[in-house]
Structure 1
Amino acid sequence: MTDKKRIVYRVIFVHQDKVYEVFCREVTQSDMHGFIELGGFIFGERSQVVVDPGEEKLKSEFSGVKRSYVPMHRVLRIDEMDKEGVAKVRDHTGKGEVTPFPAPPRPSGRS
């Protein structure tokens, strides 16, 4: 087997008023319309003396997950990286950082 460089993606998305920043090996457009498929999650596999509680929370949340499907309109950014970083989750203020892609208007309940 050839010793080729393994690609790492950083994916930042919003879920339930939180901003998730995760690292994974696979990012593809899903067969389910409107979703991005994430696979091969990476969480601090190397030996570390200091444990980040935020990363540990994400590691347990994604424990046993083979693939995750994120709605396209919730993805803020996808970067191809040289190496993985620290996964994190933070509160989403909804102000200033990124303007979400406009969603289609909801139909009113009026006739």
Structure 2
Amino acid sequence: MRKPLYKVTFLNAGRVYELYAKHVAASSLWGFTEVSDLVFDARDGVVVDPTEERLRDEFGGTRVLHLPMQSIVRVEEVEKKGQSAIRDAATGETVVTPFPLPAKPR
């Protein structure tokens, strides 16, 4: 039997985060949801996803993430991992840009 994989979408500081985890449950802290065993893409190959890198930098050392229940938008049990994301909550646009934008000529 395969272990479940969850896509967790939550609000944090005006942004919508989409992370993947192997464990989601009610937390021992009242009003929180426990998210652990976060899943990140392997660092193989030349192409690097800047969003995945940013999420790994922010949450890579996290054993258990305790999210307030009111910040969780949804939890989905999925077949396989998709692309993680950080989006602006108001516009839905991706916050992390893949490449530096060139400066405007003066």
Could you tell me the TM-score, scaled by structure 2's length? 0.80
Amino acid aligned to 1:76: V
Structure 2 segments unaligned to the other structure (5+ residues): 93-106
Q: Is the contact made by 1:21 and 1:89 (CA closer than 8 Å) also made in structure 2?
A: yes
* Count of aligned pairs between the two proteins: 92
Task: Tell me how large the CA RMSD over aligned residues is.
Answer: 1.7
* 2:68 alignment partner AA: P
Q: Which runs of 4+ in 1 moved over 6 A?
A: none
Larger Rg, first or second structure (1 or 2): 1
Q: Which residue of 2 aligns with 1:33?
A: 30
Structure 1 residue ranges without an equivalent (≥5): 96-111
Residue 65 of structure 1 corresponds to: 62
Aligned residue identity for 1:86: Q
DSSP-derived class of the 1:44 partner = coil
| Contact kept in structure 2, 1:43 and 1:86, CA below 8 Å | no
- TM-score, structure 1 as length reference: 0.77
Question: What is the identity percentage for the equivalent residue pairs of Structure 1 and Structure 2?
Answer: 35
